Amino acid sequence: MSVANGASSKSGTNPARLTGLMLAAAAVSAVSALLYGYDTGIISGALLQIRRDFDTGSGMEQVIAGAILLGAVIGALASSRLSERWGRRRTVLLISGVFALGAVLASVAPTAVLLALGRVVLGFAVGGATQTVPMYVAELAPAKQRGRLVLTFQVGIGVGIVISTLVGASEALSWRVSIGLAAVPAVVMLLLMLRLPESPRWLVKQNRRDEAEQALRRVRSDSAHLDRELGEILDLETQEREVKAKNRGWSGLRQAWVRPALVVGCGIAIFTQLSGIEMIIYYAPTILTDNGFSESAALRVSVGLGVTYLVMMIVGLSIVDRVGRRRLTLIMVPGAALSLAVLGALFVTGHSGRGSTPFIVTCLIVFMFFNAGGLQLMGWLTGSEIYPLAVRAAGTSVQAATLWTTNLLITTTLLTIINAIGPGPTMWLYAAFNVAAFLFVWRRMPELTGRSLEQIETQLHEGNFKPADFART
């Protein structure tokens, strides 16, 4: 393969300053992620009001919280085909409109069932954004800055979660207004997206080389090595055109050489959810109020958790391209496991009353520190860069759908599990999931930091996709 081992880690572009359009693409990523974080996080505090307005029980509350996740699974799968047929740009424009529509429908819902249906529409946009936006930004970004640019998506999630917890803790707005407010950033996202070009890699796949070069030139500085970067893209696409059509798109995911990427991507997606992050984000106020906390105190704890999440997203954004994706994850996961183990012990030994409040809150904050600063960073970042171009849309779709399906299962069963075995053993169960996540990353996840998308694909195609293989190159 002509792009193979001869390409150095410096191939692609000169690490020059980012252009205004590249920053605009990062802004679209951040806004779409803000909507994801806000729309999923706002239900945490809103459930306390919805419970009173609609007289819901724990079963219906799980349905309302989980409805957005069902929509996300559908959106992630559908957006794969849309982004391949329509292009990344037009798909993101559609997603922006659905975000606005879903927010309005949910905010005016007259019944709990219609509220859940409105959140399914919102979920379609959330799932579509997680499948398409990180991939779009990764395909626009220079290799050396790809990690930080794609991770603006993660930072945006943190901003959305913090805003949602602040809105909930203020108790100043009705749940209808707080949910409907999400339509405003959706319109901002739409306007920003109108300025941006199509992905040059998608244009090359459509045999539109001149347009691809123009798109690449628009998002690169004058000092960037465009000929080299475009040459790598064209070279790889030429090789992929030589394979049979059945090896592209969804059917291409069945190829043996692609399987290691699919295993790593979907495995990371599963463990980001099994680590306990959604349990804490969605149900922390419910768990705390059920164990003696006042509603106001529980909502204030949620704000602290959201702020910790955002801070660690920003820290991760600043260091991931220096520390490395794999190394950072392996450093942080043990801390998350230990904090959940201690939290479980507090509940099991009866230290869950007001006298133990500082210890409970500390465990929750420590968990968020280690989880958000490590494993959570990898969910969307790996999906945007680990799959070959011929199957990238399908691969990111499967990974996003896997993540949202796992999230849906957790969200719709967590309160039932807590009622059956208690909060303490539930925390221990999630601590064990973190141990399993550490072992998975250690054995299966290679270090992708600093490599171009074409270099990653070359190593995958050559069967050199184990952590040790990347350490040698």
**pLDDT tens digits for 87-99?**
999 999 999 999 9
Average pLDDT of the residues in 158-185 = 88
Q: pLDDT (tens digit, 9 = 90+) per residue, 309-328? A: 889 888 887 888 888 889 99
How is residue 197 annotated by DSSP? P
Are 182 and 101 within 8 A, CB to CB? Answer: no
Average pLDDT of the residues in 235-244 = 68
408 pLDDT higher than 90? no
Query: How confident is the model at residue 32, as a pLDDT?
Result: 94
Query: How confident is the model at residue 4, as a pLDDT?
Result: 38
Model-wide pTM > 0.85: no
> Please, which pLDDT band fits residue 1 given cuts at 50, 70 and 90?
very low
Taken in order of first residue, the domains within the chain and their CATH numbers are 20-471 (1.20.1250.20)
Name the residue with tokens 């919805």.
50
Query: How confident is the model at residue 7, as a pLDDT?
Result: 37
- The least confident of 180-184, 233-237, 256-260, 385-389 is 233-237
Dihedrals φ, ψ of 198, to 5°? -70, 160
How is residue 141 annotated by DSSP? S
117 pLDDT higher than 90? yes
Query: How confident is the model at residue 17, as a pLDDT?
Result: 60
Average pLDDT of the residues in 68-97 = 91
Report the 10 Å Cβ neighbour count for 463.
11
Q: pLDDT (tens digit, 9 = 90+) per residue, 11-57? A: 343 444 668 888 899 899 999 999 988 998 888 778 878 888 888 87
> Please, which pLDDT band fits residue 361 given cuts at 50, 70 and 90?
confident
How far is 137 from 312, CA to CA, in rounded Å? Answer: 21
Six-digit token string for 158: 């943190």
418 pLDDT higher than 80? yes
Average pLDDT of the residues in 372-398 = 84
Query: Which residue type, as a one-letter code, is found at position 28?
Result: V
